[in-house]
Amino acid sequence: MSAGPRRVLEAALLGALAAACTGGRAEPEADMAALEERGLEASVESRTLRDRERMVQEQIAPRGVADIRVLAALRAVPRHELVPESQREHAYEDRPLSIGHGQTISQPYIVAVMSEALELDANERVLEIGTGSGYQAAVLAQLAKEVYSVEIVEPLAERARADLARLGYANVEVRHGDGYLGWPEQAPFDAIIVTAAPDHVPQPLIDQLAVGGRLVIPVGRGVQELIRITRDEQGVHEERLLGVRFVPMTGVAEQ
């Protein structure tokens, strides 16, 4: 089909759709504008879906992350909606991004590794320390029943709470506070994830871990290691996973 007839056909189809949307009333300029806006939104969504798929296929799965549910969560969560607008073009690159207030959002690979290390099922309750932009919480929301997230930087907590609500993550609760202390009112937790690095494992977090629970946390100053702690009837057991680099945990952890 040549360009001329194609444009005519497209115009006719758009006109028919506009008439259907308005009950046959002739409001062509408003209807065309609305259709163009919806078309633009669909185009952006289609592009970001492709970006997420590429991220999983090229950056995450080839590096050993194999949990099907984790990979599905990374495909589902719109990371570009949870970073500052100035960073959105880089949202699906495998690197950390600044989110303001001296904080960063972790690279997608590390989010995937930590999420997989938690070994979550759909009926579990998770505590996250360090909400940041809300991206990790959104991934956890796809994997667990309830997510409780604590952020020490109040403007970040407020922004993440609003963004997660806007995106429909009703099973995530965010509060401003010092994550070193955990969230004792909601303990115990089946899993705890920490996205800032103290120089030791906070005892309150171990205390709030349920029997059978898993705690994944970066530990160290300068050189850091990602550690998984599991709790059973006999006590706690520590496993070193890999070297990482996170922003330092602030608040009580600094004391």
The domain spans of the chain are: 3-51, 64-254
CATH of domain 64-254: 3.40.50.150
Cα–Cα dist 90/112, whole Å: 18
pLDDT at 39: 58
pLDDT value for 37 = 55
The whole-number pLDDT of residue 255 equals 81
DSSP state, residue 88: G
What does the pLDDT read at residue 42? 55
Which tokens belong to 59? 């950056």
Phi then psi dihedrals of residue 253, to 5 deg: -55, -30
Tell me which residues are annotated as active site.
Answer: 106
pLDDT for the residue 176: 98
pLDDT value for 145 = 97
The pTM for the full model equals: 0.82
Tokens of 135: 């991206």
Q: What is the pLDDT of residue 11?
A: 43
pLDDT score recorded for residue 222: 80
* Mean pLDDT in consecutive groups of 10 residues from the start of the chain, 255 residues: 40 40 47 54 74 95 96 96 92 92 92 97 97 97 98 96 97 97 97 95 96 96 92 94 91 87
Helix (H, G, I), strand (E, B) or coil at 69: helix
